Chains A and B, each alone.
Chain A
Amino acid sequence: MIEFSNWDILRNLLIATQWTVLLSLAAFIGGTAVALGLTAMRLTRNPVMVRLVKLYIELFQGTPLLMQMFLCFFGLSMIGYEISAWGAAILSLTLFTSAFLVEIWRGCIDTLPKGQWEASRVLGLNFLQTLRHVILPQATKVAFAPTVGFSVQVVKGTALASVIGFVELTKAGTMLNNATFESFKVFAFVALIYFALCYPLSLCSKYLEKKYHVAR
């Protein structure tokens, strides 16, 4: 039987952590892009668009992320689209992330007083100009802290990719657990690595919240 030292366990976990980081980044970037599109759809105030975005949010916030992953991975390949675990994980995390980001950003845009829109209108700015020069500069400041805060949820969400067999930190943990039988140690390491990834983000979010709260 092969002996595993603490360093062997930690080293293998850290290698897998790279995939967790990569998956988080991909999901966060993808989610941001989709959320931007959805936010634009919502801002058009077209009733059909607004309802579609609402349905999207309801659908992806109201179902478990794990179920979304199963649907992307097993479901899509069942109806004829072959997809890798990596692809399914990115796809489902992107959908999940965007549904939450749209909702967060909606709150940020809605906190701006209605007078801002009206004043811009009076000044002769059109819709896009109002967005570009008045609304977005203010809304992005408010949105910064909760967006960074949500990135913690994205990192934690990547742990579910282990269930569909993508080897990231959690999957590496279960594999090492099966090889070493040192469950306590392995999962404590896994938890600590996640903590090391997420806690700085949490702190950053808290800091940003304070900073922009004072400025307003």
Chain B
Amino acid sequence: MLNFSDLLPYTDVFFGGLMTTIELTLLTTVLGVVLGTTCAAVRQYGHPASQRAVAAYVELIRNTPFIVQLFFIFFGLPSIGLMLSPWQASVIALTINLGAYSTEIIRAGLNNIPKGQWEAAKVLGMDFRQTLTRVVFTPAFEKIYPALTSQCIIVMLGSAVLSQISVQDLTYAANLVQSRNFRAFESYVVTALMYLGLAMLMRYVFAMIGKRVFAFREAQ
């Protein structure tokens, strides 16, 4: 029946996959949140036309499956002359995906800032950029930080799909191992647990970063 020891010779395959998943997650979490922050600011304070453009982007991404976005970027774009490696396509797809979701989340945070904050900043002689970066962003992010954390974890879990365009991530490793030793159940259980561990680790790291960044609040 179950035999997990057959997985032992493949430890380095799993480890390699895990590293790829972590690497992609780190990179795209940063890129995605930066994109989301930019889009949220445009959506909230930008020119009406650019507001509409951002809204269209957000709705388009949020209402289509990630795997279709990935296939469109990886298989679809080359046919109009834009060749991408699996790695490039993955980074782009994940970033665009997280960007759209985080736009909505961050915008909710920006919406939450009382008007008085803007007015007070204006009275103090701050311009738009200063107000945004020094007054508005921190409390806005603090408010939506748990939701943003969850979304980043969801995107990390969604990255399992990247194995379908032959990115050698954790899921790819699981498929490779089970095709070699025919231990599908064991291989997938172990991989699922690794994802679970990764999700917990992300929650922990985000909480740690949050504690640091929003520390000034607790001192009050």
Contact = CB atoms under 8 A, between A and B. Distances in A.
Nearest to B66: A156
B60 to A, nearest CB: 7
A67 B178 contact: no
Contacts of A188: 72, 76
A198 B63 contact: yes
Given A63-B196, A182-B79, A152 B72 contact: no
Given A170-B68, A198-B64, A64 B157 contact: yes
A138 interface: no
B160 to A, nearest CB: 4
Contacts of A186: 76
B108 to A, nearest CB: 12
B22 interface: no
B185 A191 contact: no
Interface size class of B (residues with CB under 8 A): 35 or more
B142 to A, nearest CB: 20
B124 interface: no
Interface size class of A (residues with CB under 8 A): 35 or more
Interface stretch (B25-33, B88-96, B186-194): B186-194
Nearest to A194: B64
Contacts of B157: 62-65
B141 interface: no
Given A163-B164, A184-B77, A191 B2 contact: no
A155 B182 CA distance: 31
A175 interface: no
Contacts of B62: 152, 198, 202
Nearest to B161: A66
Given A75-B188, A160-B161, A191 B195 contact: no
Interface of B: 1-2, 59-60, 62-69, 71-72, 75-80, 153, 157-161, 163-164, 171, 174-175, 178, 182-185, 188-189, 191-193, 195-196, 199-200
Interface of A: 58-59, 61-68, 70-71, 74-79, 152, 155-160, 162-163, 170, 173-174, 177, 181-184, 186-188, 190-191, 194-195, 198-199, 202
